[in-house]
């Protein structure tokens, strides 16, 4: 029981620290109203449905289907309702959605810290590993402070890899964290059916094979640990529910469209070299990525081999295996499922930044624990604490300068400030009639933003072209009566801000 209390205390402290940093980097959330456009606005349409508890699928794909589950949209709906509608802490609905995602990310990252801390023998290793992780993320800050799904997948998948490595090494009490992160990943993108399916199955197989090792949890309160499998199964059932309902109510649901896409000429078809180059672009090395990647993997394996605590090696070894497996699975997914391999499509695998980060953390914690055997006792925690302070300082300076690594969908995102005024003008012209939007294809970022802005102002709006159902959902496609009686307007072709 004492270990369980310590784990909750570690999680709470890590959550508070993570949330403080994320809020400091996104202070505009509380003061500057953001009128969302493009993908963010399309996701707001789904969030509106989630506020009415009618949403059963995830965000849209450009290939005409929806991803498996709505979990993230229910999180965003809760944030919009609580922080904007009820508490009025933020000036616009989308700001409430972003705040909810920041809180979720802080919680997920705190879970990663808690799992590592439960294994690591010293706070020095925890601090140094955390400092390395923080410095890594600073180079890709949108990975943890954006509401764009390709970025949101990063903290979810990082927790999935960490919890998976832990249960594979025998920690039964981390099964609920494993179930939560797996569910979030699968809801987020269809590709996680493969990543979670393969890596998760291997982790559970390892756990089952060596389940006697989980008796180590008994010292942490066997009663709580014994309920972990049941809690995890309940969590898994909750995540499965909307996917099952969507499939049964609209048979074969989204899965028929997944099969159609996977059998089309657009899916995959890339050479081995192309697939590996695309999959490992998220690892360090650039043009010489094979050399750097192999060196990093070799160093991580050596870190596992020479870690001074034998009891920790199974967990670290599985962290390394999960990282390498992620890279290889991304290559398979690229070869079989990714449509285009250009820089514009790099967002497909942003979650793969977790793989090199896992290896760097393994190396850092081993270095800290090896140093503890050779340096005076106070020196190692002092050095680790200094590294953590330096990382926090860089993070604070980073947020003061407003840098986001050039990621337009990260903290730099400003939306389209002209949308609320344009929506109000349309509502005034439409009177009691619904606003019916038509637009050329390339004007969709502004059109979907107008659709959301008009809806947020309490007026009915819809899109005339049923071909946009995949993005706008059926709820925002005009009925025949709305199309006939509504106030029609053509959205001009304007560039995205």
72 and 172 in a single domain? The answer is yes
* Euclidean distance between CA atoms 28 and 7, whole angstroms: 33
Element at 461 (helix H, strand E)? strand 461-463
460 and 428 in a single domain? The answer is yes
Query: Which residue among 401, 433, 454 closes a domain?
Result: 401
Q: Determine the average pLDDT of the residues in 342-348.
A: 89
User: What stretches of 84-242 adopt beta strand conformation (E)?
Assistant: none
393 and 459 in a single domain? The answer is no
136 and 88 in a single domain? The answer is yes
Q: Determine the average pLDDT of the residues in 151-161.
A: 97
User: What stretches of 306-375 adopt beta strand conformation (E)?
Assistant: none
Q: Determine the average pLDDT of the residues in 127-141.
A: 84
Within a domain: 340: no
Q: Say what percent of the chain tops pLDDT 70.
A: 87
Q: Say what percent of the chain tops pLDDT 90.
A: 71
29 and 122 in a single domain? The answer is yes
What are the pLDDT digits (tens) for 176-197?
A: 999 999 999 999 999 999 999 9
Residue with tokens 């399309």: 42
Within a domain: 98: yes
At how many degrees (to 10) do helices 93-119 and 149-168 cross? Answer: 20
Within a domain: 180: yes
User: Could you give phi then psi for residue 408, rounded to 5 degrees?
Assistant: -65, -20
Buried b (16+ CB within 10 A) or exposed e, 148-181: bbbbbbbbbbbbbbbbbbbbbbbbbbbbbbbbbb
43 and 93 in a single domain? The answer is yes
* Euclidean distance between CA atoms 266 and 336, whole angstroms: 10
Return all residues near 157 (Cβ < 8 A) that are at least 6 apart. Answer: 181, 185, 192, 195, 326, 351, 354
Q: Determine the average pLDDT of the residues in 133-155.
A: 89
139 and 53 in a single domain? The answer is yes
Higher per-residue pLDDT: 169 or 6: 169
Within a domain: 397: yes
The two tokens of residue 91 are 């000036």
Query: Which residue among 367, 401, 435 closes a domain?
Result: 401
Give yes or no for a cis peptide into 252 (omega within 30° of 0).
yes
Higher per-residue pLDDT: 241 or 215: 241
Lowest mean pLDDT among 4-8, 364-368, 482-486: 4-8
397: confidence class by pLDDT, cuts 50, 70, 90: very low
Q: Determine the average pLDDT of the residues in 52-71.
A: 94
142 and 227 in a single domain? The answer is yes
Within a domain: 365: no
Within a domain: 296: no
Domain that holds residue 64: 2-271+377-401
Residue with tokens 């449509």: 339
Q: Determine the average pLDDT of the residues in 111-126.
A: 90
pLDDT given at position 122:
81
218: confidence class by pLDDT, cuts 50, 70, 90: very low
Residue with tokens 């969908």: 409
Within a domain: 264: yes
111: confidence class by pLDDT, cuts 50, 70, 90: very high
* Euclidean distance between CA atoms 135 and 16, whole angstroms: 18
pLDDT given at position 204:
96
The two tokens of residue 234 are 């309940």
* Euclidean distance between CA atoms 77 and 50, whole angstroms: 6
pLDDT given at position 406:
41
pLDDT for residue 459 is more than 70: yes
84 and 182 in a single domain? The answer is yes
Task: Check if the beta carbon of residue 69 is closer than 8 Å to that of residue 242.
Answer: yes
Task: Check if the beta carbon of residue 159 is closer than 8 Å to that of residue 177.
Answer: yes
145: confidence class by pLDDT, cuts 50, 70, 90: confident
Among the listed residues 111, 113, 144, the one whose alpha carbon sits nearest the alpha carbon of residue 395? 144
* Euclidean distance between CA atoms 17 and 19, whole angstroms: 6
User: Could you give phi then psi for residue 139, rounded to 5 degrees?
Assistant: -75, -15
407: confidence class by pLDDT, cuts 50, 70, 90: low
497: confidence class by pLDDT, cuts 50, 70, 90: very low
40 and 135 in a single domain? The answer is yes
Number of domains in the chain: 2
Higher per-residue pLDDT: 419 or 21: 419
Furthest C-alpha separation in the chain:
81
User: Strands 435-438 and 487-490, how do they pair?
Assistant: parallel
pLDDT for residue 203 is more than 70: yes
Lowest mean pLDDT among 160-164, 169-173, 209-213, 239-243: 209-213
12 and 75 in a single domain? The answer is yes
Mean pLDDT taken over the chain: 88
486 and 384 in a single domain? The answer is no
* Euclidean distance between CA atoms 110 and 14, whole angstroms: 5
Within a domain: 362: no
Query: Alpha carbon 301 to chain centroid distance?
Result: 27
What are the pLDDT digits (tens) for 422-456?
A: 999 999 999 999 999 999 999 999 999 999 999 99
CA distances from 59 to 55, 183, 313 (A): 10, 15, 39
């Amino acid at each position: 029981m004492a270990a369980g209390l310590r784990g909750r205390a570690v999680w709470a402290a890590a959550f508070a620290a993570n949330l403080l940093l994320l809020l400091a980097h996104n202070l505009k959330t509380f003061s500057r109203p953001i009128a969302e456009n493009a993908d963010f606005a399309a996701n707001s349409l789904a969030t509106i449905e989630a506020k009415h508890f009618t949403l059963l699928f995830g965000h849209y794909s450009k290939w005409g289907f929806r991803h498996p589950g709505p979990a993230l949209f229910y999180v965003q709906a809760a944030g919009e309702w609580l922080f904007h509608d009820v508490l009025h802490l933020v000036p616009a609905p989308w700001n409430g959605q972003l705040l909810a995602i920041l809180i979720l990310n802080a919680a997920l990252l705190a879970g990663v810290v808690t799992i590592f801390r439960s294994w690591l023998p010293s706070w020095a290793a925890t601090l140094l590993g955390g400092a390395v992780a923080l410095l890594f993320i600073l180079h890709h800050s949108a990975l943890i402070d954006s509401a764009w799904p390709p970025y949101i997948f990063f903290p979810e998948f990082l927790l999935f890899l960490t919890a998976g490595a832990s249960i594979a090494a025998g920690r039964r009490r981390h099964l609920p964290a494993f179930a939560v992160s797996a569910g979030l990943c699968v809801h987020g993108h269809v590709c996680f059916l493969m990543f979670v399916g393969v890596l998760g199955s291997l982790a559970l197989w390892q756990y089952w094979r060596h389940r006697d090792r989980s008796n180590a949890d008994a010292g942490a309160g066997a009663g709580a640990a014994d309920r972990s499998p049941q809690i995890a199964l309940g969590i898994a059932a909750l995540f499965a529910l909307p996917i099952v309902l969507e499939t049964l109510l609209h048979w074969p649901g989204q899965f028929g469209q997944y099969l159609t896409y996977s059998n089309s000429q657009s899916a995959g078809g890339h050479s081995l070299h192309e697939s590996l180059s695309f999959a490992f672009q998220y690892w360090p090395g650039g043009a010489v990525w094979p050399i750097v990647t192999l060196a990093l993997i070799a160093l991580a394996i050596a870190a596992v081999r020479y870690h001074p605590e034998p009891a920790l090696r199974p967990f670290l070894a599985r962290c390394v295996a999960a990282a390498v497996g992620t890279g290889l699975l991304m290559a398979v997914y690229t070869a079989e499922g990714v449509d285009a391999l250009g820089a514009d499509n790099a967002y497909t695998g942003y979650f793969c930044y977790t793989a090199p980060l896992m290896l760097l953390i393994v190396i850092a914690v081993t270095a800290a624990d090896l140093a503890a055997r050779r340096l005076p006792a106070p020196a190692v925690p002092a050095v680790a604490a200094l590294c953590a302070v330096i990382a926090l300082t860089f993070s604070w300076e980073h947020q003061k300068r407003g840098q986001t690594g050039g990621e337009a969908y990260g903290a730099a995102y400003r939306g389209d400030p002209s949308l609320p005024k344009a929506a109000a003008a349309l509502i005034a012209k439409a009177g009691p009639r619904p606003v019916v939007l038509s637009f050329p294809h390339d004007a969709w970022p502004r059109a979907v933003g107008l659709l959301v802005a008009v809806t947020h102002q309490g007026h009915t709006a819809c899109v005339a072209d049923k071909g946009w159902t995949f993005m706008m959902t059926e709820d925002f496609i005009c009925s025949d009566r709305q199309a006939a009686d509504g106030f029609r307007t053509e959205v001009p072709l304007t560039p995205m801000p």
